[in-house]
Amino acid sequence: MVALAGAVTPMAASAASATPVTDEAAAGGLEVIVVSARRRTETVQDVPVNVTAVSGEEIRKQDLSSLEKLAAVTPDFTVGRASNGSAAQLTLRGIGSSSTSIGIEQSVAVVIDDVYYGQGRIIEEGFFDLKELEVLKGPQALFFGKNATAGVISLTSADPTKESEFLTKVAYEFKSRTTQAEAIASRPLTDTLGLRVALRGSVMEGGYYNNVAQDVTYTTLDVSKGFAATTHLAGPAAPQAPGEREFLGRVTLKWTPNDELTGTLKLSSDYNYVNNSSWNYVAFSCPGGLSSLGPPAYPCEHRFTTHQNNLPVDIAQNFPYARSDGALYNKYQSYAATGTLAYKVDDFTLTSVTNYQINNNKWTCDCNFQSTSNGTWATENSTWYAISEEFRGLSTFHSPVNFMLGVLAQKTRRVFDQWIMFAGLSDSSVALSDQNLATTKHSTTDGKTYAVFGQAIWNVVPTVEAAAGARYTHETKDSLFYQGYNNAALVGIFRPATDPLGIVNANQTFNNVSPEATISWKPVQDIMFYGAYKTAYKSGGFDNSGINSAAIPGVNPATYMAFKPEKAKGFELGTKTTLLNNQLRANFTIFDYKYTDLQVQFFNSAIFAFQVVSAGAETKGAELELEYAPRDVSGLTLHSTIDYDDAKYTTFEGPCYAGQLPTQGCNIPTPTLPFQNLSGVRLGMAPKVTGTLGVHYDMPIPGGSAMHVDWSATGRYSGSYLASSFNNESSRMSSYVSLDAGIRLHAGMDKYEFALVGKNLTNRFYVTGVVDGPSTGSGAGTPQGIQADQLGFGVLPRTIQFQAQARF
C-alpha cells in the first residue's frame, strides 16, 4: 500500500500494509499504515511528518525495484543516472546535488535498515524483498543525521516470518528482453531463531537505448617522437544498452530468546554489470539541431538513442582497468552487514545498530558521450568503506513526557583512481600503461563522524503534543589528491605530483547543531493539525574527482577542491484527516525552507578545473493528497496528489553555461570566467507543478472460484522545467504525462499470481539531469559565444513486463 502523508498514491492500495488490516478495512475503506519516521512505531496519520509509505508487497507488485522506478511514480522526486562522478543526482522538492563529483554527498539521504547509504552509487543497488519503503520530504537531520537537507528515502528489508514461507517469481520484460528470477525462503529454525534467504538475478539480452554510432578514427600524436601520428579504430559501443546482468542476495537471521530481547543480522551482496557506463546519455538539444562533434554530425532529438564508441582495441591492451576488447562497461559490487539489537525493559527500549559496508565500482567511459574523432576515454576504480555504530534509547513511560537519546560513530574511507585519454596525446618513452594517457588521478578521503541526538515529546493535554530535539554533529575529513602522470604536452595545464602544490592535502573539520520542533493538535480522533520547524546539515567535503589546475599560479588547489557544508532551515504546516467513516483521507501541507551554501558544481574551462560554488535557495509550496476507498464498492480505490513547488535561488552569482551570451545575462567579470546573476531564477529539475491521478480495483471472478483480478492505472504529470542548474533554456523539458498500468490475476487463494505491468506507456522521453557536452561550446560572455550540446540523463522508455509468482 502507498500513502503520501496518509493518502494512497501513486500505486494501488490493495497490498498488505506494514500492519494487519483492520476489520473495518477488510469490509471496505482504508487500511492502516505504520511508519517509523520518528524512530518509533506510529500510524502515518498520527505522525507530524510528510511521509510516503509503500509496503513490500506493493513494491513487488509494481516492480519498484530501483530508486529510478520509484521516482518515476513519485511527484516532486527525480533520480538522474550518471556515468561518472557520484553517478547520481537525487532531487526532491527541487533540491539536489550535482552528479559530477564523487566527493559531494547527496542532499537526499538513502537509509537502509536504519543505516545511512548516501553515496550516489547506491543507485546501482537493486531493491527487493522489502518490508516497507518511506519517502520523507524536507530536512530530516534529527533522526537521520547529516546529508538529509532535502529528505530521506528509508528502506526496511523483510525479516524472517513466524511460519514457513516460500516465494518464487519469474518475470520477462519485452522491450529490453530481460529475464528475471527471484526466490525467497523464510522459516523458523528453532523456537527463538528465524532465517530468511532472498535471491534475485536478471539477464538482459537487449536494452532500453539504441546506440547508432559508426566507426571513428582516433589519431594519437607521440610527443617524444616529434608528434608522430598513429591512427586507431574506435568501433561502436554495444548497439543495445545497458545489457544488464544483476545478482542480489540477502540472508537474515532473527533471534528472539524472550519478549525483551531481539537480535537481527542481515548480510547482503549486490553485483551489477552493464555494457556502457553512460548508456542513457542523450544529446537532445544542440545549436542548429545537429551535434557539434563528429564526423558525422547527427540530429539531436528527444529519443532513446545514443552515439558512443569503444576504446580502440590496440590501446585497450595496456590501458588500466580497460577490457581487452575496449568495450565500454560499468561493474558494481557491494557487500554489507548490519546487526541490530533491541532490548526492552519495562517502559524503555535500547537499540544498537552496527553496520559495515563496502562497494567498488569500475568502468570504461566514452567520456565525450558522443561519437567524435577527437575522443576522450577514461577508466576508473573507486572503493567506498564505512563502519558505523548507533545506540539509542526510547522511553514509553505512562506519563506526559517521553524522550529519545542517541549517539552515532562512523568511520569512512574513499579511494579513487582514474586514468584519462584525450586530445590525441601519447608518449612512447614512458611506462607502457601510461603511453596513451593524458593524465591520471589518485585521491583518498578518510572521514570520522560523531553525533549526539535527542528529542523530548510532551503531551501537553490529551489533544496536544509538543516535541523538541536537536542533533549535534562533529566531522573530520582528511583528503589527499595528486595527478601521478601527466603527458609532457600538458605542462602548464595540470600540476604534476612533483610540483610544490602537486600533492593536495585538505584537513577539514565541521561542527553543526540542527534543532527541530513540532506541535500537533488532534481536536478529534481522525483530524490532526501540525506545525514543524526543521533544520538540517549536509557535509562539506573535498572533490576527489577534481583537477589540480596549473592555470592558477600560486593558488593552493585545496581552496577550490574543498567546499563548505550545506544547511537548511524552515517550516511546514499540515493537516491529516480521515473522513467519511474511514473512506477518505485528505492531507494538506504547506512548506517553506531556505538553503545556505547550496553546493553547486561546474567545470571552469578557463582554468580546466571543477569548482564548487555556494548558492542561497528557497523552496516553498503546497501539497494535497487524497485517497478514497468507498465501502459501497469494495476493492475500489481512487487516489490523487498535487504538488506545487516554487524553488528558486535567493542569492547566487553563478557560472555561465557554455557559450552563454552577454545579452543572456553572462556579464559579471571574474578573474577566470564571466558569471551571471541567478538570484530569483528557478532551480534545475524543479517543475512548479507535479501530480498523480490513479485508480485501483480488485474484483472477484464470478462463480465462487478462488480467483480474483486487480487492475490499476496511474498517470503522473510534470510541468515544464529546466534540467540545467544554470538557467540554460536549451535544457528545457516541456510538460508531460506518463502512464503506468497493470493487471493481475490471483488464483489458488492467492498462492499464484500472473500479471502484466506497464511503465511509461506514453513512451515519453525526458531527462532528469544534464551536462554541457564535453568539447562543445565556447566563448561564454562574448558576442561570439556558441552554446554547448545538451546531454541529458534519459529515463526508461515504455516497458511491459510479464510476472508469474507462486507462494507456499
**Angle CA 659–665–667, to nearest 5:** 85
C-alpha cell at 181: 528470477
Cβ-count burial 609-628 (b if 16+ within 10 Å, e if not): bbbbbbbebbbbbbbbbbbb
* Bigger pLDDT: 749 vs 574: 574
Mean per-residue pLDDT, 323-329: 97
Q: What are phi and psi of 726, to 5 degrees?
A: -120, 30
CA distance 539 to 561: 14
**pLDDT value at residue 23:** 38
Q: What's the Cα-to-Cα distance from 725 to each of 458, 656, 791, rounded to whole Å?
A: 43, 10, 13
C-alpha cell at 780: 561564454
CA distance 451 to 405: 11
Average predicted confidence (pLDDT) for the chain: 92
Are the C-beta atoms of residues 536 and 139 closer than 8 Å to each other? yes
CA distance 17 to 287: 51
SS3 104: coil
pLDDT band at 27 (very low <50, low <70, confident <90, very high): low
pLDDT at 434 over 70: yes
Mean per-residue pLDDT, 755-780: 94
Are the C-beta atoms of residues 132 and 153 closer than 8 Å to each other? no
pLDDT at 645 over 50: yes
pTM, full prediction:
0.93
Are the C-beta atoms of residues 252 and 265 closer than 8 Å to each other? yes
Give one DSSP letter per residue of 442-456, joined into a string. Answer: EEEEEEEEEEEEEEE
pLDDT at 591 over 50: yes
Which residues 6+ apart lie within 8 Å of 554 measured at CB?
A: none
In the chain, pLDDT over 70 holds for what percent of residues? 96
CA distance 249 to 666: 51
Are the C-beta atoms of residues 107 and 119 closer than 8 Å to each other? no
| Helical (H) or strand (E) element with 57 | helix 56-61
pLDDT at 50 over 70: yes
Where in 65-191 does DSSP place strands (E)? 77-81, 88-92, 95-96, 108-112, 115-116, 130-137, 151-157, 165-173, 178-188
Are the C-beta atoms of residues 78 and 672 closer than 8 Å to each other? no
- What's the gap between Cα 180 and its chain centre? 23
Q: Which of 732, 774, 761, 736 is nearest to 284 (CA)?
A: 732
C-alpha cell at 702: 464470478
- What's the gap between Cα 415 and its chain centre? 21
* Bigger pLDDT: 427 vs 18: 427
List 742's β-bridge partners, or say none.
712, 757
Domain ranges of the chain: 2-773+782-807
Mean per-residue pLDDT, 59-63: 80
**pLDDT value at residue 251:** 98
Where in 205-244 does DSSP place strands (E)? 207-211, 216-222, 228-234, 240-242
Q: What is the pLDDT of residues 384-424, one digit of tens each?
A: 999 999 999 999 999 999 999 999 999 999 999 999 999 99
**pLDDT value at residue 721:** 97
Residue indicated by cell numbers 526508461: 796
Q: What are phi and psi of 120, to 5 degrees?
A: -60, -30
Mean per-residue pLDDT, 467-475: 98
Which residues 6+ apart lie within 8 Å of 589 measured at CB?
A: 5, 50, 572, 573, 574, 575, 622, 623
Q: Which of 774, 613, 659, 775 is nearest to 84 (CA)?
A: 774
pLDDT band at 9 (very low <50, low <70, confident <90, very high): very low
Q: What is the pLDDT of residues 688-735, one digit of tens each?
A: 999 999 999 999 888 767 899 999 999 999 999 999 999 999 999 999
Lowest mean pLDDT: which of 448-452, 556-560, 651-655?
A: 556-560
CA distance 555 to 538: 27
pLDDT at 330 over 60: yes
What is the sign, positive or negative, of the torsion defined by CA atoms of 12, 17, 23, 24?
negative
- What's the gap between Cα 611 and its chain centre? 22
Are the C-beta atoms of residues 182 and 199 closer than 8 Å to each other? yes
| Choices 1.10.4160.10, 1.10.10.1100, 2.40.170.20, 1.20.120.80: CATH for 2-773+782-807 | 2.40.170.20
CA distance 443 to 416: 5
Q: What is the pLDDT of residues 263-313, one digit of tens each?
A: 999 999 999 999 999 999 999 999 989 999 877 889 999 999 999 999 999
Q: Is 190 exposed, middle or buried (0-12, 13-18, 19+ CB in 10 A)?
A: exposed
Omega cis (within 30) before 783: no
CA distance 759 to 762: 8
Lowest mean pLDDT: which of 331-335, 609-613, 667-671?
A: 609-613
C-alpha cell at 178: 530481460
Lowest mean pLDDT: which of 238-242, 555-559, 744-748?
A: 555-559
Residue indicated by cell numbers 601519447: 426
C-alpha cell at 265: 543480522
What is the sign, positive or negative, of the torsion defined by CA atoms of 309, 315, 318, 319?
negative
Q: What is the pLDDT of residues 138-196, one digit of tens each?
A: 999 999 999 999 999 999 999 999 999 999 999 999 999 999 999 999 999 999 999 99
**pLDDT value at residue 704:** 63
**pLDDT value at residue 28:** 66
Q: Find the length of the chain.
A: 808
Q: What is the pLDDT of residues 492-532, one digit of tens each?
A: 899 999 999 999 999 999 999 999 999 999 999 999 999 99
C-alpha cell at 28: 471496505
Are the C-beta atoms of residues 277 and 330 closer than 8 Å to each other? yes
Residue indicated by cell numbers 525526458: 766
Are the C-beta atoms of residues 340 and 264 closer than 8 Å to each other? yes
Q: Is 431 exposed, middle or buried (0-12, 13-18, 19+ CB in 10 A)?
A: exposed
**pLDDT value at residue 14:** 30
